[in-house]
Amino acid sequence: MRREVDYAAYVEFGTSRAPAQPFLQPTLEKNLPSLEDLFSRKIEEAVENERVQT
């Protein structure tokens, strides 16, 4: 989803006039273990599916 106005970086990192209000980095750090598990499972599933098809 792309919008005409990209302001997420300004909110995340701040500007010369507005302080940073991080929301992306803290969310990523909080969810990284579950994301790593998800990616591992999906890769294992894809490898197993290829193994079954060949």
DSSP conformational letter for 49? H
| Domain contains 44 | yes
In which residue are the tokens 């591992």 written? 40
What DSSP string runs through 2-37? Answer: --S---HHHHHH--SSS-----HHHHHHHHHHHHHH
Q: How many domains does the chain have?
A: 1
- The answer to whether position 34 is within a domain reads yes
pTM of the model: 0.59
Domain membership of residue 3 (yes or no) is no
CB 24 within 8 A of CB 12: yes
Report which DSSP code applies to 1. -
Range of the structural domain that residue 26 is part of = 8-53
* Residue 47 within a domain: yes
Determine, yes or no, domain membership for 39.
yes
| Residue 26, domain member (yes or no) | yes
Report pLDDT for 1.
62
The number of angstroms, rounded, from the C-alpha of 29 to the middle of its chain's C-alpha atoms is 10
pLDDT for 14-31, tens place per residue?
Answer: 999 999 999 999 999 999
